[in-house]
Amino acid sequence: MKRNKFLTTLAAISLGAALLAGCSGNNNADSKENGNAAASNTESGNAASANNASSGDATNKEVESNAGTLPDKPTGTFSFFINSGATWDPAIWDWGGHHNAIGIFEGLVHYSQGKVVPGTATSWKEDGAKWKFTLRQDAKFSNGDPVTAEAFVLGIQRAVDPNTVKGTSKASSFLGDTHIVNYLDIQNGLKKVDELGVKAIDPYTLEIDLQEPDKSFLDKLAISNWQMPVDPKVVKLGVSDDTWTDPAKIVSNGPYMIDKLNVKTDMWLKPNPYYYGKVSLEKIHMTWSTPEIKQLLVFQNNESDMATLAAEDVPAVKGDSTLTNELNWFDTSISYTFQVRHSENPALQNEKVRQALTMAIDKQAIADKVLGGTGTPSYDGSITTWMADWIKNVGPQYDVAKAKELMKEAGYPDGKGFPTLVMLVPGADDKVAQAVQQLWQQNLGINVKYDGEEWGAYVTKFDESADPGTVSVVQNGVGPAVANWKETIVQTDPLHMELAKIALDGKAWENYRKIWNDSKLEQGDKNKQASDLFAANFSKDITDRYAKAADAYKKDDEAGLKDFVSWRMNTAWTFPIYTVRNGILLKPNVKGYFPMRMWLSTPPDWLNDITVS
Amino acid sequence: MLVYVIRRVGYMIVALLALTLITFFLMKQAPGSFLTINIMQSGLQTSGHSSYSMDVLQEWSERYHIGEPWYMEYWGYLKGILTWDFGTSFQYPNTPIMSLLVKAFPISLGIALSSIILGLLISIPVGIFAAMRRNTWADSGAMFFSMLGTSIPAYILAVFLIMVFSLYLHWLPSMGWRDLKNYVIPVLALALPMTGSMSRYMRTSLVENLNKDYATTVIAKGGSKRDVIYRHVLRNSLIPLITIIGPHLAGMLMGTVMIEFMFGIPGMGQLFNNAAGSRDYPLIMVSTFLYTLVIMVMNLLVDIIYGLLDPRIRRSGMSD
């Protein structure tokens, strides 16, 4: 099974653009059959989960679980900040889709308190690569129409159908590495959308055929927008129009529906009157977060029940006993890293140099002093310490003496003779990048230049090779697709072997860019030519390692997989610095907020778990 | 007068054409394109999204002449502007640009106009008050505070106002855009700094007029200071104030950008900034054009009103 390395630029931290990926994994991945748990949503996700327990800070506490205690009648208003959406069409890739996934729509399964729980499907059966879902018969859309297997088929077909996104400037909802039979051929226009491996066996039985068995399928479903049903009486195949931004026209099936929407500011939700279970809140107010809005001020003025702290807010909050009591630390899965850029100059091709660079960074000091606790040291871009604690011990450690020695061995004693190292960073004032710059200069004696660029310029330069005569690293944000470390390392498709791509020599990289930027080539041809180029130029050591790891994954050979991770970290092609950790203030009367840790902004994972007394 | 207006309109058209050309070149010079930024931002970089960019590009190429020589592309935008058919933007392809602007512009204009009106309502009485008590502690006190107002930027004042009215008193919302209450702090933050210069203009102009012979005559005939000011001097003293309202309004329309950001107000500032940041060419072109058009028209109107109030200007304008 392939994993989709999900690479997003984390300058997005400041822009609030985050990414979605799978979610807190290892809990349900192995449940072959779920005996009709949860007659109603109110009973589904008990257990306050181990999901948030591992970050080891005195202020870190579990948010009180709420499950099983929803009021008989929707009560209270919950007001919080979230990334803005532009469309709420579940077939379209957009932040609005993430809003859909936490309670405007309800898929087959969803997350609740960090676990995958039944949604509209009450039970399911896995038979190799075939999944059969039994749907509940009392589920209804917000217009009263029944939610049938047909509605799911239409929803998933729309997400795959390339016609849906035509003329929208958007992309289809991301199926990632969930390989439904024929999905790629349909997206590439080679097959018709009704050939997709999704069928309604009867009105309440849905079958999904995958190309190969997938241990993480339920985790991937739970966080996905593409699995949402749409009402066949209202929604058509091949169209996404502006009805998806008009609350009066959006028909959804989750516990909440959109009441009022101000596309650029905020949105109000109200209970879906036809929802089969209890609905906890009378109103939900979602305000779009922007870096300029001071969430702490808004929280203190009681206009919001939730606020995400900026690093500079932390001392003020820690100095205030009331606020300290309202503070929760939520880990995310997104890491801030640097990665080697391609260059004519081979200095960074030397593994010793890269290891020295890694060893010269005091990540703990950066997490504590620069980030004020809004980050924890990161050791591997796709495996966080909360997923696998051992990760911190297997890679190169902070050791200045050793780093200097390695530089000397590489022929650069005290940094002498080393070319200028340029750091490409979005924004002129990235404190973390500046700290890394200082550490490299002080500890290794090399000359490091900070190249802060406006977002558009940064994005444009991201793939370009370093300027002649220099070597360079670029800041990037990375995260896994599912929160299971074993799932995050299996990658055999050359187009997605990020490490091998980074390690490519400068010339081969430029050839790849020529193919990729050729506007006359069809996407399919691009993929093919790029794959061929990679196959011919990838380092054999790297591809062998990947093949071995894939084998270890199939055999569930944990030692083999750990060996691969350790090797990967010691190649030091990337320099993970910290994993984002959100300081989130919640009013004391808010219960049941459990963070969606795969998203950078850690919104609640299921809105209907939240109560406000 | 008519000749004057026609000539001014002629200049405006030339200036607007030059502006669209400059905007077009600057915009094309900025690195990155909407597609690359959009793809990167949404994490689609490596998601293997096939056919996405090709399809969209093809549609856009036809609509916006992308990939053709620059003059064709520029003509595409210019034609839209000339025929007042602005089309749709890259970011919101389902929504006409005009309807985006129709939503955003009144918000910005509303804030700007309310701020100016509030500024005038404060400045005129303060100016009169200071002029009537010229060279007393009351005069110096009023002028000191207006000086203070001028020196504090709107965004600093905004934070201070939020602290007082939202954090301590809990009277007003600190951000967002829901009802009239949301207007209060942004408008105050923009109006108060303006009162500094406006009240000083008012005071100086009054004092100047009070020293003129016609004012002395009124007093000599037994008129009170109050009579002189309200019946005779005030109208004449308003003329300089009107001259500075025009530039103030223009500045204000730009000045709301920062305030809109701070308070999460969905006005022109937000729209424009998003457009520039994501290289949404059609939206950049159209919003820059309309913004400038509004500012130019405002300035023209102020000049015409000025002329109406002062016949000398009217005459010299015509003889120009």
> Which residue, chain included where needed, has tokens 């199926």?
A175
Nearest to B32 among A264, A459, A524 (CB): A459
Nearest CB to B162 within list A297, A455, A456: A297
Shortest distance between the Cα of A142 and any Cα of chain B, in A, equals: 24
Share of chain A above pLDDT 70, in %: 87
> Residue B193 CA to chain centroid, in angstroms?
15
Inter-axis angle of helices A540-554 and A558-571, nearest 10: 150
Weakly modelled stretches of chain B, pLDDT under 70: 35-61, 93-94, 254-255, 311, 313-320
Nearest Cα residue in chain B from A260: B178
Cα dist. A553→A7, A431, A487, B234 in Å? 22, 39, 8, 87
Highest-confidence range of A209-213, A412-416, A504-508, B78-82, by mean pLDDT? A412-416
Structure tokens at A303: 């206009």
Number of inter-chain CB pairs under 8 A, A vs B? 165
Which of the pair, A305 or A168, is modelled with greater confidence? Answer: A305
* Token duo for residue B243: 């001259």
Q: What is the mean pLDDT of residues A47-63?
A: 33
Q: Give dist(CA B99, CA B102) in Å, integer.
A: 5
Burial A444-466, CB ≥16 within 10 A → b, else e? bebebebbbbbbbbbbbbbbebb
CA distance B63 to B86: 11
- Does residue A348 fall inside a structural domain? yes
pLDDT band with cut points at 50, 70 and 90 for residue A607: very high
Residues 128-167 of B with CB under 8 A from A: 162, 166-167
Strands A283-288 and A77-82: parallel
* E strand or H helix that includes residue A476: strand A471-479
- Could you tell me if residue A534 is inside a domain? yes
Show which of residues 31-70 on chain B sit within 8 Å of chain A, judged by CB atoms: 31-34, 36-57, 59, 67
Among the listed residues A613, A608, A610, A611, the one whose alpha carbon sits nearest the alpha carbon of residue A272:
A608
In whole angstroms, give the CA distance from residue A459 to residue A472: 15
**Residue A9 pLDDT:** 29
Distances (CA, A) of A12 to A4, A293, A329, A380: 19, 16, 20, 19
User: In chain A, whose CA is at the least distance from the CA of B31?
Assistant: A457
Cross-chain residue pair A264–B271, CB shorter than 8 Å: yes
Sign of CA dihedral A176, A179, A182, A184: positive
Q: What is the pLDDT of residues A394-411, one digit of tens each?
A: 999 999 999 999 999 999
Domain membership of residue A563 (yes or no) is yes
Amino acid type, B105: F
Taking only residues 4 to 33 of chain B, the set having a beta carbon closer than 8 angstroms to any beta carbon of chain A reads 30-33
Residue A210 in this model has a pLDDT that exceeds 60: yes
Measured CA to CA in angstroms, residue A367 lies from A55, A145, A387 at distances of 13, 51, 18
CATH of the domain at A464: 3.10.105.10
Rounded to two decimals, the ipTM of the complex is 0.70
**pLDDT for A1 beyond 50:** no
Q: Is residue A609 part of a domain?
A: no
Domain count, chain A: 1
Q: Which residues is A579 bridged to in the sheet?
A: A335, A376
Q: Quick check: A169 and B54 CB within 8 A?
A: no
Residue A43, pLDDT above cutoff 50: no
Cβ-Cβ contacts under 8 Å, B31 against chain A: 456-457, 460-461
The distance of A345 to chain B (nearest Cα, Å) reads: 25
Q: Measured between alpha carbons, how far is A135 from A137 in angstroms, rounded to an integer?
A: 6
Q: What's the rounded Cα separation, in Å, for the pair B147 and B124? A: 15
Higher pLDDT, residue A202 or B32: A202
- Residue pLDDT, tens place only, A462-485: 888 998 889 999 999 888 878 888
Nearest-Cα residue of chain A relative to residue B276: A456
Q: Which residues of A touch B30 (CB under 8 A)?
A: 456-457
Cα separation, A219 vs A109, whole angstroms? 9
Q: What is the pLDDT of residue B54?
A: 54
Residues of A in contact with B37 (CB under 8 A): 455-456, 459
Say which residues have a Cβ less than 8 Å from residue A415's Cβ, sequence separation at least 6. Answer: A407, A444, A445, A446, A447
pLDDT tens figures, A56-76? 333 333 444 445 578 889 999
Domains and CATH numbers, chain B: 110-267 (1.10.3720.10)
Instruction: Give tens-digit pLDDT for A575-585.
Output: 999 999 999 99
Q: How far apart are CA A37 and CA A31, in angstroms?
A: 12
Q: Is the dihedral of CA A135, A136, A141, A144 positive or negative?
A: positive
- Tell me if B32 and A456 make a contact (CB, 8 A cut-off): yes
Contact call for A456 and B90, based on CB within 8 A = no
Which range marks the domain in which residue A532 is found? 333-579
- Is A542 a member of any domain? yes
Cα–Cα distance between A231 and A277 in angstroms, integer?
19
Which candidate from A5, A293, A301 shows the least CB-CB separation from B46? A5
Nearest CA in chain B to A521: B54
A48 vs A90, higher pLDDT: A90
Give DSSP secondary structure letters for A380-449: BTTB-TTT-TTHHHHS----HHHHHHHHHHTT-GGGTTPPPEEEEEESS--HHHHHHHHHHHHHH---EE
Distance of alpha carbon B186 from alpha carbon B165, whole angstroms: 12
pLDDT in tens, B250-273: 777 766 778 888 888 888 887 888
pLDDT of residue A585: 96
Residue A552 CB neighbour total at 10 angstroms = 20
Within a domain: A172: no
DSSP code at position B96: B
| Mean pLDDT value across residues A257-276 | 91
Task: Tell if the CB–CB gap between A241 and B94 is shorter than 8 Å.
Answer: yes
Task: Read off the tokens for A433.
Answer: 């990048």
B156 φ, ψ (degrees, to nearest 5): -70, -45
Whole-number Å distance between alpha carbons of A580 and A599 = 10
Tell me if B42 and A171 make a contact (CB, 8 A cut-off): yes
Kindly report which listed range (A255-269, A299-313, B81-95, B140-154) carries the lowest average pLDDT score.
Answer: B81-95
Tokens of B290: 């309309």
Cα(B62)–Cα(A505) distance, integer angstroms: 38
Predicted local confidence at residue B215, as pLDDT: 82
Q: Is the Cβ pair A455, B48 closer than 8 Å? A: no
Whether the pLDDT of residue A49 is over 70: the answer is: no
Interface test with A, best of B26, B94, B161 (most A CBs within 10 A): B94
| Spatial contact of A79 and A94, defined as CB atoms under 8 Å apart | no
Mean pLDDT for the stretch of residues A280-305: 89
Rounded distance between C-alpha atoms, residue A185 and residue B209, angstroms: 83
Do residues A162 and B59 lie in contact, with contact meaning Cβ atoms separated by under 8 Å?
no
Write down the pLDDT at residue A609: 95
End-to-end CA distance of chain B, in Å?
10
In a domain, A426, yes or no: yes
Domain assignment present for residue A362? The answer is yes
The answer to whether A442 and A432 have CB atoms below 8 angstroms apart is no
Nearest-CA distance A246 → chain B (Å): 12
Q: 3-class secondary structure for A251-277?
A: CCCCCEEEEEEECCCEEEEEECCCCCC
| Alpha-carbon distances, residue A401 vs A360, A404, A414, A443 (angstroms) | 9, 5, 11, 9
Task: Report the b/e string of B263-275 with b at 16+ CB within 10 A.
Answer: bbbbbbbbbbeeb
Burial B103-122 (b: 16+ CB within 10 A, else e): bbbebbbebbebbbebbbeb
Q: What are phi and psi of B232, to 5 degrees?
A: -120, -50
| A92 within 8 A of A173, measured Cβ to Cβ | yes
Q: Tens of pLDDT along A545-559?
A: 988 998 898 888 999
Q: Which one, of A54, A22, A52, A13, lies nearest residue A577 by Cα?
A: A13
